[in-house]
Structure 1
């Protein structure tokens, strides 16, 4: 958390020096998130994952760097995660438990370098850059199965200091970092539409048996609160 605070403070200081030129906006996003899970030692026994529908809300800053070029940090609260599945190895007539839907609540800070191209009365913005995220909390569904049929589900919080998720080798880490790409359209009525893709590069699992990376695709709608960069 200390490193994340340093990054945020550094960004704020940078913006303070250019405060007369910075534009600020807000945006909300639909996020289609998933997890890439690998078990290098026994690939056939790797848990599977399916996409989940999540959301994101954040503050967007546009800091001029050069003509048409902007640094665009976004301080956001974002849900990531995926729906877990496992190879069926349970005996007949037996009850088994498994952690299924896993939702990770992140404070994230992408820092994209964006180039804005005038297109009529709008601007087309294309950019990419790194992101860092801190998982403030996480929850999962703990499901009971009988012969492959779900008979009961409860919601549990993840304890990052414990042994991990039940009946899995997953031991989650709070920190995540990766790469982000974005394409957006800024209209002259102060609204924005954008799509972005985030590719997690860090292994968010602390165990030595699994390798887990975040993946997410977002569709956003937002408002620009001032147009000093127009």
Structure 2
């Protein structure tokens, strides 16, 4: 009887030890699950924080400005007659879905071209066409990667001033008085495409404006421009609020 009791006590002690070990294992599994869950939650929160700015659905207003490299083209766009100018304006970025926005703008844009000449009668020099517009592009903006977007859309422009200057080989500027704003079409329109890099509230970008309407009216302006249209490569920096 004593031996049986001792055996039973030993068996009971083994059972108690096994139960305690199983309890500890269950606690370890629960602790591990909690750690994994916390790690996943932390990673998701960090990812949301990293992408919150670029995928934010909060409307944004801002100002922008930069450099224009403009030209006039007939059939093919070239860079032989590029004229530098400036662009400046206001924009609103209106999110419509995650990573997609509509961006209307109102911009002042200096366009035109510099056309070189060299002949016996007038010598050498260049005609400088200064065509200044107020434009309203309506762009669809797509965030395709972190801090990077592409934007496309149409634009319409209104000609606010026009002047053609004759710059001779000595650098003397003479106004061509027979051409003025009335000789050019008041309305311009075309397509816009570009890319942008968003860093917090600062945007750096480049875009191309492809005009679809001839700039000169029929007559002297149309003859001199050879029925050309606007072509502009723009670089800009913007600040959102």
TM normalised by structure 2 equals: 0.65
Q: 8 Å contact 1:35–1:49 — kept in the other structure?
A: no
For residues 30-41 of structure 1, the aligned pairs below 5 Å read 30-37=67-74
Tell whether 2:178 aligns with 1:154.
no
Residues 178-221 of structure 1 show CA distances to partners (whole Å, capped at 9, x for unaligned) of 00002001112x11100100110111121265321100111111
Report how far residue 79 of structure 1 moved: 0.2
Give the 3-state SS of the residue equivalent to 1:206 in structure 2: coil
Tell whether 2:207 aligns with 1:196.
yes
Counterpart position of 1:128:
152
CA distance in 2, matches of 1:54, 1:25: 21
Counterpart position of 2:216:
205
CA distance in 1, matches of 2:196, 2:126: 36
Greater strand fraction, Structure 1 or Structure 2: 1
Residues 68-100 of structure 1 show CA distances to partners (whole Å, capped at 9, x for unaligned) of 1111111100100100234x5x54xx4579871
CA distance in 2, matches of 1:127, 1:173: 27
For residues 16-55 of structure 1, the aligned pairs below 5 Å read 21-37=58-74, 50-55=81-86
The alignment covers a number of residue pairs equal to: 176
Which structure has more RCO (C-alpha within 8 Å, separation ≥ 6)?
Answer: 1
TM normalised by structure 1 equals: 0.68
Q: 8 Å contact 1:97–1:142 — kept in the other structure?
A: no
Counterpart position of 1:84:
115
Larger radius of gyration: 2
Greater helix fraction, Structure 1 or Structure 2: 2
Q: Which segments of 5 or more consecutive residues in structure 2 lack a partner in the other structure?
A: 1-56
Q: 8 Å contact 2:216–2:228 — kept in the other structure?
A: yes
Q: 8 Å contact 1:84–1:99 — kept in the other structure?
A: yes
Report how far residue 151 of structure 1 moved: 7.2
Q: 8 Å contact 1:178–1:201 — kept in the other structure?
A: yes
